């Protein structure tokens, strides 16, 4: 009888050890799913995402009925960033549980440096809340902790090696849509291009209600009769998608104000069918000290980038290769 009891006890002990090992070594098991269930399988149901870091920066992303996402109730959010964030939320997988030896340090680091993520799938109560911490030493995973849980996990996206933190950026400027001009077919009423340093090149193209083209030489106010209609219509399509490269975040306000008050290179004014206008002024961007061109000659301005002031508010960096498609002259639209 004693032997039977001893065998039963040994079996119970072995069974308990097996359950423990299953819980700790397989974090995706049913037993630990409540601690490691970070992913959002149906991202189409996500209506709002709130991000907040320890420095007080916050990002509020809200799906709008018109089909875009708003940013902090002020701007339109970048579509590519939204797509990447939702893909990340869906593909999150547990790479491994946190070892006991690293447990305290990881929790301490997350308490001082992490991003809180709240995901809403309708209503005002988040369906999931978790914290995104630092990467492991090999940058093959990112530490995350579900709210209410005491156990963090090393998370990753299968097939992707790198830190997932940047996908949860709390920089408002990074999230802002970078479109300057975005006009669909037939939505433009007129485009005026003023070459301040070469006024003879300045022009205005008007797309009339009957879809005929009007071309004006701004220096004289003269209407041009022999208009190359095909060239003018093709030019208007160039305003379909025009983006700036970045915000100017390396200069102080005094520098920005001095550039904005200087003489612009070209001023673009686009007016839509509803009478709304957008004006973009472009300025030379000073080159770095001792900068040279391809042949080693000294240059005083950047040969790849310009500054732009949008509606006298946004001061941004643009690229020549983008705006060269807009920097046309009057003669480009006059038939030979």
Residues 6+ apart with CB under 8 A from 120: 46, 47, 48, 49, 50, 126, 127
More confident call, 336 vs 69 = 69
> Which residues face 50 on adjacent strands?
60, 118
Q: What is the mean pLDDT of the chain?
A: 89
DSSP for 276-330, please give it. -EEEEEEEEEEPPTT-B-TTS-B-SEEEEEEEEEETTTEEEEEEHHHHTTT---G
Instruction: Annotate 270-290 with b (16+ C-beta within 10 A) or e (fewer).
Output: bbeeeeeebebbbbbbebeee
| 8 A C-beta contact, residue 216 and residue 230 | no
Give mean pLDDT, residues 103-112.
Answer: 91
Categorise residue 296: left if φ over 0, alpha if ψ from -120 to 50, beta otherwise: left
177, 231, 262, 288, 289 from 300: Cα distances, Å = 31, 34, 16, 8, 8
Other C-beta atoms closer than 10 Å to the C-beta of 14 total 10
CA angle 104, 34, 48 (to 5 degrees): 95
pLDDT at 90 over 90: yes
Q: Which sequence spans correspond to the domains of the chain?
A: 35-175, 179-333
Sign of the torsion formed by the C-alpha atoms of 16, 21, 26 and 31 = positive
**pLDDT tens digit sequence for 246-302:** 999 999 999 999 999 999 999 999 999 999 999 999 999 999 888 888 888 889 899
The rounded distance, in Å, linking the Cα atoms of 171 and 51 is: 10
Which residue, among 130, 135, 116, has the nearest Cα to 55 in the 3D structure? 116
Q: Name the band, by pLDDT with cuts 50, 70 and 90, for residue 35.
A: low
DSSP for 141-185, please give it. -EEEEETT-S--EEEEBTTB-S-SGGGG---HHHHB--EEE---T
Residue 7, φ and ψ in degrees, nearest 5: -60, -45
> Which residues face 224 on adjacent strands?
215
| 8 A C-beta contact, residue 49 and residue 120 | yes
Mean pLDDT check: name the lowest of 54-68, 209-223, 283-297.
Answer: 283-297
pLDDT at 200 over 80: yes
Tracing tokens 């070459």 back to the chain, one arrives at 195
> Which residues face 242 on adjacent strands?
181
* Structure confidence at residue 33 (pLDDT): 56
Give mean pLDDT, residues 199-211.
Answer: 93
**pLDDT tens digit sequence for 149-197:** 888 999 999 999 899 999 999 999 999 999 999 999 889 999 999 999 9
* Structure confidence at residue 291 (pLDDT): 84
Helices (H), the chain: 2-25, 33-36, 79-91, 100-112, 172-175, 229-237, 253-260, 320-323
> Which residues face 135 on adjacent strands?
142
Residue 48 structure tokens: 């709002």
49, 55, 83, 135 from 40: Cα distances, Å = 12, 26, 13, 21
Which residue, among 153, 151, 148, 150, has the nearest Cα to 136 in the 3D structure? 153
Instruction: Annotate 206-220 with b (16+ C-beta within 10 A) or e (fewer).
Output: bbeeeeebebbbbee
């Amino acid at each position: 009888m004693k032997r039977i009891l001893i065998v039963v006890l040994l079996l119970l002990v072995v069974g308990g050890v097996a359950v423990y090992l299953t819980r700790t070594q397989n974090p995706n098991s049913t037993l630990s799913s409540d601690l490691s269930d970070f992913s959002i399988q149906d991202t189409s149901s996500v209506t709002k995402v709130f991000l907040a870091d320890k420095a007080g920066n916050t990002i509020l992303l809200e799906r709008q009925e018109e089909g875009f996402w708003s940013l902090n109730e002020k701007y339109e959010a970048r579509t590519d960033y939204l797509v990447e964030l939702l893909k990340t939320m869906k593909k999150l997988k547990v790479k491994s549980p946190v070892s006991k030896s690293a447990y305290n340090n990881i929790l301490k680091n997350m308490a001082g440096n992490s991003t809180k993520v709240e995901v809403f799938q309708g209503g005002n109560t988040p369906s999931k809340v978790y914290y995104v911490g630092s990467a492991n030493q090999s940058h093959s995973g990112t530490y995350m902790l579900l709210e209410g849980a005491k156990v963090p996990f090393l998370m990753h996206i299968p097939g992707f090696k790198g830190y997932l933190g940047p996908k949860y950026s709390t920089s408002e400027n990074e999230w802002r849509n970078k479109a300057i001009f975005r006009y669909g077919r037939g939505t433009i009423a007129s485009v005026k291009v003023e070459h301040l340093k070469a006024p003879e090149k300045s022009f205005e193209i008007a797309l009339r209600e009957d879809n005929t083209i009007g071309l004006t030489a701004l220096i004289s106010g003269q209407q041009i009769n022999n208009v190359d209609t095909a060239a003018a219509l093709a030019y208007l399509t160039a305003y379909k998608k025009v983006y700036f490269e970045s915000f100017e975040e390396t200069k102080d306000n005094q520098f920005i104000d001095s550039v904005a008050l200087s003489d612009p290179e070209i001023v673009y004014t686009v007016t839509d069918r509803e009478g709304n206008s957008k004006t973009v002024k472009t300025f030379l961007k000073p080159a770095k000290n001792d900068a040279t061109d391809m042949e080693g000659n000294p240059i005083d301005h950047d040969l790849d980038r310009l500054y732009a002031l949008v509606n006298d508010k946004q001061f941004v960096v643009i690229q020549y290769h983008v705006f060269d498609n807009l920097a046309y002259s009057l003669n480009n639209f006059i038939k030979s």
